[in-house]
């Protein structure tokens, strides 16, 4: 059907007719799909054909133009449809069964088809879905099983209905004139209608699927649930009505067509069956191949695993063998060997292959010499038993002599690895036999020390007298279960661990929280320092009592010698399983009773505050595993020094709900500790009110620290009216401070109060601030909610990473999901808090407050810079209460909810609920507004776009995420993709209405990508300045051919950007004229530098010196300063010898720094430019090349600081010489102008006043904003 070009209406009235009976649940979904239409229907006629009441459903959709018709008894589908069509007054009608759905663009697209193609009947495609009702409460389950989307064919319609009724838009007059539905049909009434319509008009087919057609697996859908006899009867009626009346020739033709179609379908089915058989054979073959491959892979994997296990065991055995040799060498030396070693000098050892060997050897000899006297005494005592042991000692000496020969022959190189293990083992065995014989002798007790190189016996140490080290926690792994079947229950991994030395008088203490029964093993990472370390380690394990008192008797005691431990490896400490260990905390105390200054052992640790567990506990569990003395210390921290008892004088008031859990006191102590630190740093006074149920421990703590504790009745908590209660308390306090409503257990970030104060100072119309709450995994616990058009609150932000761009910026919000917010007292007094009494859940109570603020022309904003750390708030409510609150909220605010996103909308709609125009800006880097004028212009341009209510997304090409500049954008509501989030993430977020590409390289790199991924976007290329023109001017001054060639390449890129863009932004009219010479048809708009309205108290008599300001990364600025100092400044000094030049700006080059002298001061980068500029009398700008508008000149003039410039510097600003600026290009004239402006007060005042007025008039914020607004309204056809 060709398009009609005659004049026609822009819109036709449309009605949707819904037939329903006893299916209110399905009716709700159908009506909701109508509410979501982009083109709203003019009428919605609902015919209840003798079913149960649907008034409660219709009440929810009272915003729709509903016409309700109720049949007291069922009249059938056909009559119900006719009743609806007759009641309609629209030009076009469509039908929607109560179990079907329209997609949001259904009516809009079919209406356009009827308008553009003058069609009386138009239809689109439909998705065929199989639905099952899982129950009265659970939602439907659906599965796509096919589609209807075939082109119109009247001959095919004669023998089958392939067009579902819900896909059609029909001219109402045509519907009535063709006889409406035939009421004698209970089935196929729609097919009968289409047959009659097809005889009088053609149908226009829209090749798009815009609706869902449902069939039911376990329901009573008429078409599927009817008996086969009813089907035959209905088909017989169609046959008799439309086939038999035909002439014989037409009957024959129809039968022939049907036969041909059936043959085609049969042939097609046979082809499909063959294809299916072939595919099944291929699939079976592939499955066999896959199974074979899988078996081979499994076999290879098992082989690799076995090999890995063998290799691991072999490596472990090797380590043990080497270590065992070291021990045996140390422990198995006899008397003759010792005497030989004592007489051996270090200089007798030759061919030392490694300093390590030599160091170990020297240490062993020195250790033996230090114990020579004790060893001699032991030998003398041992000689008393020599007669008894003479025979065995003789055998031992023979073996020892052999061993010593091998030691000498090895030249020490083989001392550590060359001794045959069996020989040493035999030697040790004999040594043990000797000791056993001595132990059993009746001749007396063997004196201490006979074991020679073994460490002295442990002295009895009083554990309580040892100094406890609690600031560090060992690197450990803890296990429960058994050695055969175990599970890791906790661990601490250290990225940068510290070695904590176990000194003799100290013990290392730490806690382990156990979440499983049968706690039996701990691995601790040790540092042995020495190759042979003979320190003893003792570990005591206590159970922590709930009342935070130390257990006196340890549950387990473990001891081992450090010689068994490998350096920088985990050492496994096993003990008898603690059977009932789940949910308990165990304190470990580690000490080394025989440690010395020369020989000791260390434990690898991390600071205690960095504990991480395999299954990370909640914040409260973390408090549980704190050392009891740490808990007591926290509870003893005084907080009166920052508390203000008189709340009327406090800067901030914290209303903290005492959540009922076992560690309330510990978490409150931590909260007070943090608040004390923050308040002390900022010098703020705080008042704190705790409230909750009766809690003696908390109340005692509050009383001791001057904190008010307000006790609530249990009925308030049971009814979930906690928020209403505390708001009333806050109103009664009559304060003027910021009110913080939080709960116990939240940790504060250090700048939270400062950020909150800055927020309310910057947003005067903000009535409430919603903070972010993040968990220990740096994911969102609570942020903000989004209300949908049916009153439901979506909390899609929960679980997103904190650094995700969609979370990082300040935004207006209309819902919340947790009782954490900040509100000025002045705002709270004007709210009718009693209205939240009708709600049962916190999220709707706070959301009600947010919408009240809206009616008072105040906004609620989400500020991620105000951040808490804590777990997700658990509200004790149920789904039915949420549904009740949703209905209450919807009834109250339904008129305002119409334009909110639908529950069917995607994430893009939820992120932009007000349907603002969207803009993506791509620049080289984040706007460094305090370093260069181009960045300042970009920042101010972005600010203006946000003020025009355009949702701005910014992407820096260098992925820079400098917090200072990123937060500056986020604080004015800009979404910033940087760091780990690239341009692909930005483009994937949504389809932008505007894309601004800034600077030549950015435009050249991203132009094609922007056009491809956002074909409907308006693309603006921002030149900033004409890059190739600046490069060409520099090449001419420096007579540089390479620069000239570079300028040519830049010109090609820049003009290519201009041609491809929809609109080009230039900074000056001169730049616009220059580009128009190159491309006469260019659509070009001037967007100049933007200078905010500033107030300055500058005067001639209170200023001195000259100033130049600029970013010295920009080559023209460096050239300007060097040339001025060399060629112009000496001329000025001749006339004004005392004058000084001040150089300000970032990226100061060495060549500039070298200029510093008595008359030239280098200030470099300053945080705030304005205070430095107003100290000076004249701003100079001796630019010899460049392009565009010079922002720093405008910035100086806006402050009233007179400027002396070259014509290049003043270019593009429409400045008048001798009126708003002084202009000169040669050194002598420039120096003369500087001296005039510096010494002539009358001239100075004239240039100052005129320049300030001119900048405000042409380039002030409001002036540029109005120009930008007018351009955008015309270009994207939207009023701002």
The pLDDT assigned to 1244 comes to 92
Q: How confident is the model at residue 1096 (pLDDT cuts 50, 70, 90)?
A: confident
Strands 1018-1022, 994-998: pairing kind: parallel
> In this structure, is the dihedral angle defined by the CA atoms of residues 31, 32, 37 and 43, taken in order, positive or negative?
positive
The pLDDT assigned to 339 comes to 45
Between 106-110, 633-637, 898-902, 974-978, the lowest mean confidence (pLDDT) is in: 633-637
Q: Which of 226-235, 298-307, 474-483 has the highest mean pLDDT?
A: 474-483
The pLDDT assigned to 447 comes to 35
Fold of domain 917-1086: Rossmann fold (3.40.50)
Q: What CA–CA distance (Å, rounded) separates 1260 from 1092?
A: 6
Give me the helices (H) in 733-868, please.
752-762, 825-829, 842-855
Q: Could you tell me if 121 and 101 are in contact, meaning their C-beta atoms sit under 8 angstroms apart? A: no
What 606-609 contacts at long range (C-beta under 8 Å, 24+ apart), as own/partner pairs, is 606/472, 606/473, 606/475, 606/492, 606/494, 606/497, 606/498, 607/471, 607/472, 607/473, 607/498, 608/470, 608/471, 608/472, 608/473, 608/510
Give the per-residue SS3 of 256-282.
HHHHHHHHHHHHHHHHHHHHHHHHHHH
Between 3.20.20.80, 3.30.110.40, 3.30.70.260, 3.40.50.2000, what CATH number should domain 1106-1259 receive?
A: 3.40.50.2000
Q: Could you tell me if 1234 and 1269 are in contact, meaning their C-beta atoms sit under 8 angstroms apart? A: no
Q: How confident is the model at residue 429 (pLDDT cuts 50, 70, 90)?
A: low
Of all residues in the chain, what percent are helix, strand and coil, respectively (each to 5)? Answer: 45, 20, 35
* CATH no. of 463-593+602-616: 2.60.120
Q: What CA–CA distance (Å, rounded) separates 945 from 1160?
A: 41
Mean pLDDT across 821-836: 88
Q: What CA–CA distance (Å, rounded) separates 890 from 310?
A: 68
Per-residue DSSP letters for 443-477?
S-PPPTTTTTTSPPPPPP--GGGSEEE-SEEE-EE
Nearest CA to 935 out of 805, 1064, 1075, 1111 is that of 1111
> In this structure, is the dihedral angle defined by the CA atoms of residues 576, 579, 580 and 583, taken in order, positive or negative?
positive
Place of tokens 């060409």: 1032
Q: Is 653 helix (H, G, I), strand (E, B) or coil?
A: strand
Between 55-69, 244-258, 319-333, the lowest mean confidence (pLDDT) is in: 319-333
Q: What CA–CA distance (Å, rounded) separates 708 from 385?
A: 80
In DSSP terms, which residues pair with 586 in a beta bridge? 512, 543
The pLDDT assigned to 974 comes to 96
The token pair at 374 is: 């004790």
Percent of the chain at pLDDT exceeding 70: 80
**For 392, which DSSP code?**
H
* From-to residues of CATH 2.60.120 in the chain: 463-593+602-616
Q: Could you tell me if 1180 and 1233 are in contact, meaning their C-beta atoms sit under 8 angstroms apart? A: no
Mean pLDDT across 421-435: 55
State the burial class of residue 285 (Cβ atoms within 10 Å of its Cβ: 0-12, 13-18, 19+).
exposed
Between 49-63, 429-443, 526-540, 1118-1132, the lowest mean confidence (pLDDT) is in: 429-443
* CATH no. of 629-749+761-776+785-911: 3.90.550.10
R_g over Cα of the chain: 43
* From-to residues of CATH 3.40.50.720 in the chain: 917-1086
Position 102 pLDDT exceeds 60: yes
Q: What CA–CA distance (Å, rounded) separates 117 from 123?
A: 12
Please state whether 888 falls in left (phi above 0), alpha (psi between -120 and 50) or beta.
alpha
State the burial class of residue 397 (Cβ atoms within 10 Å of its Cβ: 0-12, 13-18, 19+).
middle
Work out the number of other CB atoms within 10 angstroms of the CB of residue 875: 15
Higher local confidence (pLDDT), 526 or 414? 526
Q: What CA–CA distance (Å, rounded) separates 168 from 93?
A: 8
Between 65-79, 274-288, 458-472, 912-926, the lowest mean confidence (pLDDT) is in: 458-472
Strands (E), 696-746: 708-711, 738-743
Strands (E), 636-783: 652-657, 686-692, 708-711, 738-743, 747-748, 766-774, 780-782
Q: Could you tell me if 1158 and 1138 are in contact, meaning their C-beta atoms sit under 8 angstroms apart? A: no
Angle (CA) 1237-1239-1240 rounded to 5° is 70
Q: What CA–CA distance (Å, rounded) separates 1194 from 880?
A: 62
Which residues are CB-neighbours of 763 under 8 A, at least 6 positions away?
810, 859, 861
Q: Is 1253 helix (H, G, I), strand (E, B) or coil?
A: helix
* Tally of CA atoms within 13 A in the half-sphere of 824 that contains its CB: 18
Phi, psi of 1151 (to 5 degrees): -65, -30
pTM for the full model? 0.56
Q: Could you tell me if 889 and 790 are in contact, meaning their C-beta atoms sit under 8 angstroms apart? A: no
The pLDDT assigned to 479 comes to 93
Phi, psi of 1177 (to 5 degrees): -95, -30
The token pair at 207 is: 């090749």
Strands 686-692, 708-711: pairing kind: parallel
Q: Could you tell me if 1083 and 1059 are in contact, meaning their C-beta atoms sit under 8 angstroms apart? A: no
* From-to residues of CATH 3.90.550.10 in the chain: 14-217, 629-749+761-776+785-911
Mean pLDDT across 811-824: 90
Fold of domain 14-217: Spore Coat Polysaccharide Biosynthesis Protein SpsA; Chain A (3.90.550)
Nearest CA to 712 out of 699, 701, 700 is that of 699
Q: What CA–CA distance (Å, rounded) separates 33 from 16?
A: 11
Q: How confident is the model at residue 393 (pLDDT cuts 50, 70, 90)?
A: low
The token pair at 1230 is: 């420039």
The pLDDT assigned to 494 comes to 65
Position 462 pLDDT exceeds 70: no
Please report, for residues 44, 46, 165, 719, the alpha-carbon distance to residue 68 in angstroms, rounded to integers and kept in the order given: 8, 5, 21, 38
Average pLDDT over the chain reads 80
Instruction: Give the tens place of pLDDT for each residue, 569-611.
Output: 888 999 999 988 888 889 999 998 888 877 788 888 887 754 3
Work out the number of other CB atoms within 10 angstroms of the CB of residue 802: 17
Strands 203-216, 101-102: pairing kind: antiparallel
The pLDDT assigned to 731 comes to 85
Nearest CA to 706 out of 676, 746, 684, 736 is that of 676
Place of tokens 């592939």: 286
The token pair at 405 is: 């020969």
The pLDDT assigned to 138 comes to 40
């Amino acid at each position: 059907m060709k398009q009609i070009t005659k004049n026609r209406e822009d819109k036709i009235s449309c009605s949707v007719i819904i037939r329903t009976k006893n299916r209110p649940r399905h009716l709700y979904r159908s009506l909701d799909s109508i509410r979501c239409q982009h083109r709203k229907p003019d009428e919605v006629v609902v015919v209840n054909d003798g079913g149960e009441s649907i008034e409660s459903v219709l009440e929810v959709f009272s915003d729709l133009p509903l016409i309700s018709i109720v049949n007291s008894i069922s009249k059938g589908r056909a009559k119900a449809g006719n009743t609806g069509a007759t009641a309609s007054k629209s030009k076009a009608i469509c039908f929607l069964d109560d179990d079907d759905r329209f997609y949001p663009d259904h009516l809009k697209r079919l209406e356009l088809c009827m308008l553009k193609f003058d069609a009386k009947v138009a239809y689109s495609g439909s998705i065929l879905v199989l639905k099952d009702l899982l129950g009265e409460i659970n939602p439907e389950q659906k599965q796509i099983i096919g589609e209807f989307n075939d082109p119109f064919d009247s001959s095919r319609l004669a023998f089958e209905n392939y067009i579902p009724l819900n896909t059609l838009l029909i001219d109402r007059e045509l519907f009535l004139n063709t006889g409406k539905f035939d009421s004698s049909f209970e089935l196929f009434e729609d097919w009968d209608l289409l047959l009659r319509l097809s005889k009088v008009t053609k149908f226009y087919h829209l090749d798009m699927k815009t609706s869902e057609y449902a069939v039911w697996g376990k329901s009573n859908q008429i078409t599927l649930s009817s008996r086969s006899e009813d089907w035959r009867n209905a088909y017989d009626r169609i046959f008799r009505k439309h086939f038999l009346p035909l002439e014989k020739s037409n009957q024959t033709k129809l039968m022939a067509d049907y036969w041909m179609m059936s043959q085609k379908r049969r042939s097609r089915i046979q082809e499909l069956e063959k294809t299916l058989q072939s595919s099944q054979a291929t699939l079976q073959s592939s499955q066999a191949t896959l199974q074979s491959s899988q078996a081979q892979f499994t076999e290879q994997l098992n082989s690799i695993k076995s090999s890995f296990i063998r290799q691991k065991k072999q490596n472990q055995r090797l380590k043990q063998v080497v270590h065992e040799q070291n021990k045996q060498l140390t422990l198995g030396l006899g008397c003759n060997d010792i005497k030989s070693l004592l007489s051996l000098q270090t200089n007798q050892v030759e061919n030392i292959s490694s300093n390590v060997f030599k160091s170990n050897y020297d240490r062993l000899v020195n250790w033996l010499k230090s114990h020579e006297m004790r060893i001699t005494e032991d030998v003398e005592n041992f000689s008393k038993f020599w007669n008894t042991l003479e025979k065995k000692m003789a055998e031992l000496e023979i073996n020892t002599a052999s061993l010593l020969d091998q030691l000498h022959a090895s030249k020490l190189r083989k001392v550590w690895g060359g001794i045959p293990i069996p020989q040493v083992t035999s030697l040790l065995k004999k040594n043990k036999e000797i000791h056993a014989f001595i132990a059993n002798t009746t001749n007396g007790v063997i004196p201490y020390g006979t074991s020679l190189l073994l460490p002295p016996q442990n002295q009895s140490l009083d554990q309580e007298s040892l100094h406890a080290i609690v600031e560090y926690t060992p690197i450990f792994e803890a296990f429960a279960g058994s050695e055969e079947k175990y599970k890791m229950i906790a661990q601490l991994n250290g990225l940068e661990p510290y070695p904590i030395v176990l000194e003799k008088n100290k013990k290392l203490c730490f806690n382990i929280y156990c979440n499983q029964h049968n706690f039996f093993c701990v691995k601790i990472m040790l540092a042995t320092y020495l190759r042979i370390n003979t320190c003893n380690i003792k570990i005591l394990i206590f159970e922590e009592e709930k009342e935070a008192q130390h257990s006196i008797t340890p549950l387990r005691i473990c001891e081992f010698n450090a010689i068994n431990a490998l350096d920088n490896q985990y050492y496994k400490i096993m003990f008898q399983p603690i059977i009932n260990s789940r949910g308990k905390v165990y304190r470990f105390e580690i000490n080394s009773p025989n440690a010395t200054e020369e020989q000791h052992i260390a434990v690898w640790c991390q600071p205690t505050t960095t504990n991480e567990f395999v299954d990370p506990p909640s914040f409260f569990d973390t408090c549980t595993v704190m050392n009891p003395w740490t808990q007591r210390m926290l509870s003893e921290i005084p907080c009166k020094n920052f508390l203000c008892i008189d709340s009327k004088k406090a800067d901030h008031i914290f209303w903290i709900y005492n959540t009922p859990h076992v560690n309330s006191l510990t978490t409150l102590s931590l909260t007070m500790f943090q608040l004390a630190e923050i308040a002390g740093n900022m010098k703020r006074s705080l008042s704190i009110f705790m409230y909750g149920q009766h809690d003696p421990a908390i109340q005692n703590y509050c009383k001791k620290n001057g904190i008010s504790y307000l006790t609530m009745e249990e009925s308030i908590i049971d009814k979930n009216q906690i928020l209403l209660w505390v708001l009333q308390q806050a109103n009664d306090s009559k304060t003027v401070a910021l009110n913080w409503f939080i709960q116990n257990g939240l940790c504060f970030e250090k700048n939270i109060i400062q950020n909150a104060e800055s927020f309310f100072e910057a947003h005067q119309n903000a009535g409430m601030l919603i903070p972010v709450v993040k968990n220990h995994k740096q994911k969102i616990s609570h942020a903000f909610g989004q209300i949908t058009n049916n009153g439901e609150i979506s909390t899609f932000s929960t679980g997103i990473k904190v650094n995700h761009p969609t979370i990082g910026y300040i935004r207006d919000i209309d819902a919340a999901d947790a009782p954490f917010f900040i509100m000025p007292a002045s705002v709270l007094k004007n709210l009718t808090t009693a209205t939240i009494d009708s709600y049962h859940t916190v999220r709707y109570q706070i959301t009600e407050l947010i919408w009240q603020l809206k009616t008072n022309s105040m906004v609620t904003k989400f500020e991620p810079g105000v951040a808490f750390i804590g777990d997700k708030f658990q509200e004790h409510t149920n789904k039915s209460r949420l549904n009740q609150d949703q209905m209450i909220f919807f009834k109250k605010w339904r008129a305002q909810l119409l334009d909110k996103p639908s529950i069917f909308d995607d994430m893009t709609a939820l992120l932009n609920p007000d349907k603002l125009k969207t803009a993506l800006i791509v620049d080289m880097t984040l706007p460094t507004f305090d370093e260069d004028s181009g960045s300042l212009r970009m920042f101010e341009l972005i600010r203006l776009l946000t003020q025009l209510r355009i949702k701005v997304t910014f992407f820096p090409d260098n992925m820079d995420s400098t917090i200072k500049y990123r937060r500056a954008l986020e604080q004015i509501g800009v979404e910033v993709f940087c760091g780990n989030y690239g341009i692909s993430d930005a483009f994937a977020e949504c389809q932008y209405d505007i894309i601004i590409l800034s600077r030549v390289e950015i435009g050249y790199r991203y132009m094609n990508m922007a056009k491809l991924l956002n074909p409907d976007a308006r693309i603006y290329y921002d030149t900033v300045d004409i890059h190739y023109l600046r490069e060409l001017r520099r090449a001419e001054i420096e007579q540089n051919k390479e620069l000239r060639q570079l300028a040519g390449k830049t010109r090609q890129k820049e003009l290519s950007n201009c041609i491809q863009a929809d609109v080009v932004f230039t900074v000056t009219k001169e730049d616009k004229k220059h580009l128009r010479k190159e491309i006469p048809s260019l659509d070009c708009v001037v967007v100049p530098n933007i200078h905010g309205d500033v107030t300055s108290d500058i005067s001639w008599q209170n200023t001195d010196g000259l100033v130049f300001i600029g970013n010295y990364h920009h080559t023209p600025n460096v050239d300007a300063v060097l040339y001025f100092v060399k060629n112009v400044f000496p001329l000025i000094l001749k006339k004004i010898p005392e004058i000084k030049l001040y150089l300000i700006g970032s990226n100061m080059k060495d060549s500039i720094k070298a200029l510093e002298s008595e008359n030239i001061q280098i200030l470099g980068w300053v945080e705030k430019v304005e205070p430095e500029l107003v100290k000076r009398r004249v701003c100079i700008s001796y630019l010899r090349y460049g392009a565009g508008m010079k922002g720093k000149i405008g910035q100086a003039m806006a402050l009233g600081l007179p400027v002396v410039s070259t014509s290049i510097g003043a270019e593009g600003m429409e400045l008048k010489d001798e009126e708003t600026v002084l202009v000169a290009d040669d050194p002598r004239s420039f120096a003369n102008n500087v001296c005039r402006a510096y010494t002539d007060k009358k001239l100075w005042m004239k240039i100052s006043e005129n320049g300030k007025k001119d900048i405000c008039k042409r380039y002030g914020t409001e002036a540029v904003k109005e120009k930008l607004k007018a351009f955008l309204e015309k270009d994207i056809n939207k009023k701002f």
